Amino acid sequence: MPSFSSDGLTLNYLDRGEGDPVLLIHGFASNLQVNWVGTQWVDTLVKAGYRVIAFDHRGHGQSEKLYDPARYTIRDMAADALALLDSLGIARADVVGYSMGARVGALLAIEHPDRVRSLVIGGMGGRLFEGAPKSDEIAKALEAPSRDDVTDSYARTFRVFAEATKGDLKALAAVIRSPRLPLTREMLGTISSPVLVVVGTEDVVAGDPKVLAEAIPGARAVEVEGRDHNRCVGDKVFKEAVVGFLAERT
């Protein structure tokens, strides 16, 4: 896959299809292949007539790894997304973010409204107002000698997922320890782009999607029945909601 440069780093990306550009931003410990290709998101959006762009965050997938938490702020990751759009000559894109990627997408919509045509916040509800819960426990789980040494069940799920995605555990520990920029209700209230919030009904990570949607002017929430944080990503209800949302926006 091709690469681009941002902040002195080399980052991996994908660019497929034709039409209005849609930028996909993956979640923590995932990558563009796991979050968007393997779940058929890329194929779905290309078939719907969109140009699909996705990238591996710094510290993730095939992108360059760092081990300093200070280099993994949400603002750093948002700057990477802008650098990709700039490198491709894309002035404005629809943005679909999942989990940590939803935080990145939200910050883009807040600080760079001219670059975000519409925003989908996936896998993140009311918890968006908070930092990552149990971040220290998750970091310790990622640094443990093995998953069997992790006693915290919540943190252990992140270790298992990171191993499944073949992530760099040391880099991911640095990511989760990075300073978290709080996104307040006041900040989210300034978003002028159309916004869709999508969360699974069994998602214990995201928080209430309705609480988040109420904080963003004109936003609406969709709940995906019976899906938890990981299984919601590839659900057809999620995809159908986004394709419909993008068509309405158009």
What beta strand segments (E) does the chain contain? 3-6, 9-16, 21-25, 51-55, 93-98, 116-122, 195-200, 220-224
Give yes or no for a contact between 39 and 234, defined as CB atoms under 8 angstroms apart.
yes
Work out how many domains the chain is built from and give that number: 1
Query: In this structure, is residue 61 part of a structural domain?
Result: yes
Query: In this structure, is residue 162 part of a structural domain?
Result: no
Q: Residue type at 218?
A: G
Give yes or no for a contact between 178 and 73, defined as CB atoms under 8 angstroms apart.
yes
Q: Taking residues 95-110, what's their average pLDDT?
A: 97
CATH of the domain at 15: 3.40.50.1820
The 10s digit of each residue's pLDDT in 27-65 is 999 999 999 999 999 999 999 999 999 999 999 999 999
The 10s digit of each residue's pLDDT in 126-172 is 999 987 778 999 999 999 999 999 999 999 999 999 999 999 999 99
Confidence of residue 250 (pLDDT cuts 50, 70, 90): low
Q: Taking residues 98-110, what's their average pLDDT?
A: 97
Query: In this structure, is residue 217 part of a structural domain?
Result: yes
DSSP letter, residue 122: E
Query: In this structure, is residue 159 part of a structural domain?
Result: no
Give yes or no for a contact between 27 and 99, defined as CB atoms under 8 angstroms apart.
yes
Query: In this structure, is residue 10 part of a structural domain?
Result: yes
Query: In this structure, is residue 124 part of a structural domain?
Result: yes
Q: Taking residues 17-29, what's their average pLDDT?
A: 98
Query: In this structure, is residue 135 part of a structural domain?
Result: no
Query: In this structure, is residue 154 part of a structural domain?
Result: no
In this predicted structure, what is the pLDDT of residue 185?
A: 94
What tokens appear for 218 in the block? 């004109």
Torsion of CA 11, 15, 20, 23, to 10 degrees: -30
Question: What domain range includes position 69?
Answer: 3-129+182-249
Q: Which spans in 123-235 are helix H? A: 135-143, 153-164, 169-176, 185-188, 209-215
In this predicted structure, what is the pLDDT of residue 13?
A: 98
